[in-house]
Structures are given as C-alpha cells and as structure tokens.
Chain A
Amino acid sequence: MTASASPSPSPVLEVRNLTVSLPTGADRTNAVEKVSFTVNRGEIVCLVGESGSGKSVIAFTVMGLLAKALKATSGEILLEGENVLAADEARLRELRCTRMSMIFQEPMTALNPVMTCGEQIDEVLETHTKLDAGQRKVKILSILERVKLPDPERIYASYPHQLSGGQRQRIMIAMALVLDPVLLIADEPTTALDVTTQAEILKLIAELQESQGTGVLFITHDFGVVAEIAHRVAVLRWGELVEMGPTEQILSRPQQGYTRMLISSVPSIHPQHRGTRKDGITVLRTEKLGKIYTGHGLFQKARVVKAATDVDLDIRRGETLGIVGESGSGKSTVARCIARLIDPSEGKVFLGDTEIATMPAGKLRPHRRRVQIVFQDPYRSMNPRITVGDFIIEGPMNFGLKREEALARARKLMETVRLDPNALDRYPHQFSGGQRQRICIARALAMEPELLIADEAVSALDVSVQKQVLELLDEIRQRLNLAVLFITHDLRVAAQICDYVAVMSRGRVVEYGPAEQIFGSPRDDYTKALFAAAPGRHWEFGKFATA
C-alpha cells in the first residue's frame, strides 16, 4: 500500500479508516471496512473491484447519500479538510455541487424526464449562486460548450429523451462541473454506454479534470478503463482495500494475489492463433437474413425499423462465430431470428439442410432442440419457482425422455459445468450469477444441440467469473465439437473465444472473417473506429513484470 508519486501534495479528499456497516442479516457485517485513501488535486483515482466490493458504498458515503440502512460507524472523510461525516444535512446540500459532484451510471434515470436539460442545470445554479437569469443562461451555454455538446442553444431546450446516451452523460457532467467542484465522483459513468461513446466520455473527463484541476474519484469494474485514465488505483475486495498504488505499478507489478488474479482474468484483446479452418460440416447458414419491425397503433402511421438486413453467416462444427457490435446494431436480433424466438422477415436460415426461417411453428418444434440459447442475465434466465433439476430436464422431457433418464443426464451435465450434482433440488436463488450461468449452459447442453447461441452470456459477470465461464464454454465446444454463436459487445471477450468474427453496425454485417484477421488488420472504417475505442487496448493485462 505504497501511495507515492502523487502529482500534488494537497489532498482534495482524504478517507481515513472508513467503516460502513450493513444491516443485520446481510452477508457480512460491514460493507466497507477500514478503508483509507486520498484523492489529490488534479488526480484521477480509480476504485476497482468486483460486484459487492463496496466501491459504490464509498462513493455514496462521501456524497452523504448513503441509504438509511447503511451507517458509517467509524473513520472520517475529509473534503478539503472538512469532515463530511460530521456535516449536517444543510451543510451537505451546500457542499454537493459546489465542492463535490457525482455522475451516475445510467444518465437516463439520473435526469428528470419532464424538465429540459437547460432547466436542470439552471436549477443547480439557482440553488447555489446569486446570479440572475441572464447570467445563469450564459454560464450554462458555456458549460454545455465545454462538455462539447453540439449546438448548445438547442441542447438547452431539449428534453433528456431527445438526446443520445452519450449526450445525456455529457449533460450530467456539465451539471456536475458547472460550479467548479474540487472533487468529481464518477460511479461507473461509462458502463451503460457503447464503446465508442465511452471513449469520448473518458477523454472528456480526463480533459476537464486536467484543465480544472479537479480531483476525480472514478469507480469502475473495467481494467481497460483503469489503464486508460487512472493516475492511481485502489483495488477493493469485500469492502476492504487490497492494494493501492500508481496505475502502472498496480497493473504491471501487483503485490497481492487477488489483484494479480483479477488483472490476469481480463481477456487479451489480441486473439490467440486458433488454427486454420477445420473442414467441418456447416451447422448453420443464413442467407440475406433480415428482420423488420413495424410498429403500428390504431391511429398512427406505421413505423418501420430495420433491425437486421442482409445478414450472411455460416458456422461449422467445432467453431465459434462471434457477432460483435454496439447496442442497437442488430446482433441480438440475428441470434433470436436464428433461434426462431422471433420470426425473420426476410432471407433464409439453414440448420444443416433444413430451412427454418419460414417454417410454421408446428413443424418447427423438432428443430428447436438443435439450437439452444444462453441469455445475458443469469438472474432472469431461470424461473425462480422451479428447482435447478426441473429447469435442466424440462427440455429433454418435452422431447419424450423419461424423468429418471433426464435427471441422470442432468447430474452428468452438472459435473460437466463443474457444479455439485447433488444441488439439483436447490432453487436458483441459492446460486451465484456465475453458477447460474453454468446451469443455463447445462440446460442448453441437455438438449444435445448442434448450435449453441450465447447472447451476451458473460456480460453480466464479474471478470474473474467471466473468465471461468469463457473457459468452460470453450472446453465444451472442443469436447462436444459444438458450433457456437457468440454475441458480445466486448471486443476482449470476442478476441478470447472466437474463431470467426462478424462486426455488425446498424443491422448490417460490415466486416466478417477470421478473428485474427479482423483484429489484426481491420479494413472497414467502423471496425477500425470500434477497435480504436476499446479502453486500455495498448495494455496487455496479466503480463506482469517480475517484482
């Protein structure tokens, strides 16, 4: 815990021995335990940790926004020397925005949908300054310009829903910085954003803190982001500070085992050499696959959205095809069309030699077995009222397998996904996210599918769990010679697991080829932009210098 090489000696924020207790009945007694760190003027300090590590609790404690059930039981938080924990509500309200500000993960819910963006920033100024309406407007327009929003006058009069996610986050930043606070707390501010937008927001935060000399406490779970912007890093686990130091030192010479494990779990952005194409049998082929949504109300004009257009893909046995793209690019639409969870509007889907895109629902049922899908959210993928055993055997029993045989198969599959076969009579809530995702994989495998679709299957998992599930998926693919369609927005994950990659943008496949080729020398402009935006792309995680 050697915090050295700080750019400036005067700390803006000093957290000393902070302990925050959890209500009785929680999984541990303290959400945060004896955590100490400082944020200096003009410095970005990243708090990194997996879910439940207490990083957001720290941020909320500093802001005085802690939920009532949680209590800071000991320690102090000094904001420019003033103890925030001792401040009363009125003083805290004064401090917020003027001395410290916070931006949140989801800019849509953090903004009031019935006020224009200008009014919302104006509210801050009206509360905390004595400026008149004209002066306030000038100040707001100048801050909108500073966060690089185009056409500040128009943005001023816009409602949040009229702006994109990135623009909304800029509004949040503008609101946070309009009174030049000395401390900015950013709680996962880019997690809900696409990678290209994320890159812009990160750049903006870095620029603003540099020109203002603001201290930034940046909370993230993403080591790519850490490598991109942090001056110093604090690693948290179970509410305790594991390690703290300059970014370079933590990333390349971590002292603690946990830090090493965490960092080496980050997938490399350079794809491994996976050999030349095996001449396997083609399991799936799509031809000019497309999906058009037409929204129509009783008295409205039909609205047409082309979610996917002219998608040509093929996957052979034992291969993993990745579809990467930003949100709204149509990658999930393609996956759902292939699984026939939605009906394609045009084109063909060949499963082996059978065309299933236009097959009526009645005839489709025998083919359902052949394509199985694992979803993103492990908490919503399982019916909470059904035991894990019943969950896994539901499919095989639909296809006529007897209960005992199906259960025997389920036990074997639990072993395959490295879970205790005796846990079949447990309910989903007794398992962690990663365990649930394995159960979902077991359930998909129980159908003995030819094609396994993983729709953002590891996106909701912590990086260390993500690594395990990725390894498991790859292992199963090899052993069962399975074709895998892997949908992800995360380039690192795609690089790790895919043989082939299709990059999608606005419903179209813009580039398609072997992973090595796409990652090594992308040709399409969009692909290039996408890769350039990947945070921490210059950093090879897990290659530690010998300490």
Chain B
Amino acid sequence: MSAILDEQVVDSAAIASASAKRKSLWALAIRNPGVIIGGVILLAMVVIAVLAPFLGTIDPTRIDPAARNKKPGTEITHRLDDGTSLKRVAIMGTDSLGRDVYSRVVYGTRVSLIIGVAVAIIAVAAGLVVGLISGYIRWLDGIIMRIMDGLMAIPGILLAIALVSIWRAGLVTVIFAIVVPDVPRVVRLVRSVVLTVREEPYVEGAISVGTPTWTLMFRHILPNTVAPLIVQGTFIAAAAIIAEAILSFLGIGIPPEIPSWGNIMAEGRTLFRVFPHNILYPGIFLALTVLAINIMGDGLRDTLDPKMSKKV
C-alpha cells in the first residue's frame, strides 16, 4: 500500500471544503415567505386555542335566554351562578340560545386544530406504513392497491354519515371518518416514492453489501418520503378542517353543544339573513386557518420538493 501512497498522495485539495455542508431543508424552508406568513397565522391560531380561557371569554356552552340574538358590540349583563353579575361587550354578538359567539369561535379553534393535526398525523402514519409495504413487497402491491382503490371510491361525507349512524357522533368518529378516504392518497404518494427510490443504484448497492430489508427501508428509502409527506400532510390538515366544518354544519359531526366552527355556522344558518354574524366570524376563522395552512404547504413544497424548485 505504501508504494501507492508514495506515488501520488490523495487529491484532498480537490474535495470541496467542509463549509460546503448541505444547507438543511429547514433552514431553507423558514426563509420562504409562504412558510413565514402561513406559519405566523397558524401560530396565532395555536396561541388562541391554548389560551382560550384567558382571552376574555366566558363558558362557550353557557346558555343565556336573556341575551339571545344580540348583534356584535352589544353590552350584555351576565348573571353568574354565584349570584353576581358580569357586564361585558359581546364583540361577535350572541346566537339564538344566547351563547357568546366570540367565546365559541375562540374555543372552536381547539376543535379545528385538533382535527387538522390528528387527521394529518394519523393519515400520514397509516399511509406511510402501508405505502412502504406496498412499494417494497411486490407481491402484496396488487392486493393493497386494489383495496386502496376501493377506499378511494367511497365519498368521505357518505362514509362519515354511515359511521355516525353506527357509532355515536363525536371527535373520534369524525377523525376516523375523515382519515379513511385520505389514507389511500398518502399510500399512493409513498408507494410512488418507494418505487422510484428502490431502483436507485444506492439502494441496490446497499442490497449487495447485505443490508437487511428493514435497515434498507428505514435508512435508505424512508428519508426520501419525508419531504413529500410533510407537504401532503399540510394539505390533508387543511382539508380535514374543512371536512369537519362540513360534517358539523350538516349536523353529523361534533355534537352541537361542543363549540366548533361548523357547529356555530350550523346554528346560525336559520337566522342568517337577520344575524349574519353567527356565520361570518367562524367563517373568517375557518377561511383564515385553511388559507394559512395551504400557503405554508405551498411554501414547503417549493423548498422541500426538488422537482418543484426552479432551475437556474
């Protein structure tokens, strides 16, 4: 060996300097305007959800027959259970049962965010496992994909109606109903990534040095799915929040006493012409949240997905 070394040492000079370290995708992502704008709005929503009791709200389920259908800005005197009375301005008015719309909208943020995040995580996790198996174990592929085709053929809303009529309406039922039709989309995405990556020479190289299948999947294949899955996850979250609102609006989602944006809008539907505030404010929150998630998702796709990035 020494003979070789004497003859010509290493061309270390030609190796790019260590400073050329790959910029982490996150470092790139948080510089994208879409990610920043969407992220800030979402963060605000999270803060609102977490701090709901401290934002000048009252019990969102509290019915006050004396203060029904008040327009935004009306001053209301609440008679509390301990006999004292509380004077406050209902900045978003009250609904037909005298509940404070502002408090309901603020608390409703919790339901929407929980649904969005839960659906995204569950759908991505389930889709990832099934997609990896389908993409890597060839003989299972046909069977799994036909099942997924079947799942995709079920309209989400109809499935939710069916599930709610079998089980009782509730958060878990709603999440499940929204997750099921989303799983096949994730499976298809993961499968397509796996099918491409498994043909890469570096995967074949790993096979030829005896890397066990599980290591191969987790070390060489799985990391490639992360970026597209994050992007897909954001869109699933946005769609889930809307789906929840639709289900609640139709009266088949979250039980009506629990404040969710869909429920508030459903409640305000009958008196919409006279008291539009019942639909307006939850509608604004819903639109803003979904828009924020979508803007962030677009931004993430621009930075994380190399196929979408612009060429020099």
Please list the residues of chain A having a beta carbon within 8 angstroms of any beta carbon in chain B.
Answer: 23, 26, 67, 69, 339, 341, 365, 368-369, 371-373, 375-377, 380-386, 394-395, 398-399, 412, 414-416, 418-420, 422-423, 426-427, 429-432, 435, 440, 443, 447, 475, 479
Contacts and interface: CB of A to CB of B under 8 A. Distances in A.
B206 A341 contact: no
Given A435-B14, A435-B15, A371 B1 contact: no
Contacts of B200: 380
Contact of A427 (B12, B22, B210, B212): B22
- By CB atoms of chain A within 10 A, which of B15, B18, B200, B207 has the most? B15
A398 B211 contact: yes
28 contacts: A67-B311, A341-B208, A365-B210, A368-B209, A369-B210, A373-B208, A380-B201, A380-B202, A383-B202, A383-B206, A386-B219, A395-B209, A395-B210, A398-B211, A416-B4, A418-B4, A418-B8, A418-B9, A418-B11, A420-B11, A422-B12, A430-B16, A430-B18, A431-B15, A440-B205, A443-B209, A479-B1, A479-B4
A377 B202 CA distance: 10
B5 interface: yes
Contacts of B219: 383, 386
A479 B208 CA distance: 23
A440 B208 CA distance: 12
A429 B202 CA distance: 14
A395 B1 CA distance: 22
A432 B12 CA distance: 11
B119 to A, nearest CB: 29
A430 B14 CA distance: 9
B21 interface: yes
Best-buried of B1, B11, B21 by chain A (most CB within 10 Å) = B11
Given A426-B15, A427-B22, 4 more contacts: A381-B205, A383-B206, A415-B4, A416-B1
For chain B, the bracket of interface size reads: 20 to 34
Contact of B15 (A339, A412, A419, A475): A419
A422 B201 CA distance: 25
Contacts of A377: 201
B269 to A, nearest CB: 48
A26 B312 CA distance: 10
Given A23-B312, A380-B202, A430-B20, A420 B15 contact: yes
A91 B214 CA distance: 60
Contact of B4 (A427, A443, A475): A475
A441 to B, nearest CB: 12
B204 interface: yes
Given A415-B5, A418-B8, A435-B11, A67 B312 contact: yes
B220 A375 contact: no
B22 A429 contact: yes
Contacts of B16: 426, 429-431
B223 interface: yes
B312 A419 contact: no
Nearest to B7: A418
A430 B312 CA distance: 20
Contacts of A416: 1, 4
B210 A398 contact: yes
A289 B12 CA distance: 43
A69, A365, A395, A475, most chain B CB atoms within 10 A = A395
Contacts of A69: 312
A383 B15 contact: no
Nearest to B13: A420
B208 A339 contact: yes
B208 A383 contact: no
